[in-house]
Amino acid sequence: MSVDPFEPLGPSSAELDAITAEWPLIAAELDLVDAEIAEINAADHGGPSPLDWRRLRRAEARVTRVAAELAARPATRKAVA
């Protein structure tokens, strides 16, 4: 397999812009996964505390809120070559 020396090896600026635009959702989903892991681990210590449940609910709400905000943004059109 040969590599074109003129082809960029990393993501394009448009791809980086898309990642940047979606980063709030990525961060919210990571927080949700952290809360879910904490809840699973709490089972070994007598079960989740009210604080664990609150953290999980807030993380779920944040994912929902950020996803709705992203969905409400106007879509950008890509030029087709």
pLDDT by 10s per residue, the chain, length 81: 566 677 768 888 888 998 999 999 999 999 999 999 999 999 888 999 999 999 999 999 999 999 999 999 887 655 554
Residue 37 to residue 29: CA distance in whole angstroms: 12
Determine the distance from the C-alpha atom of residue 73 to the mean position of all C-alpha atoms in its chain, rounded to a whole number. Answer: 16
Residue 70 to residue 49: CA distance in whole angstroms: 32
> Structure pTM?
0.75
Q: How many residues does the chain have?
A: 81
Residue 40 to residue 48: CA distance in whole angstroms: 8
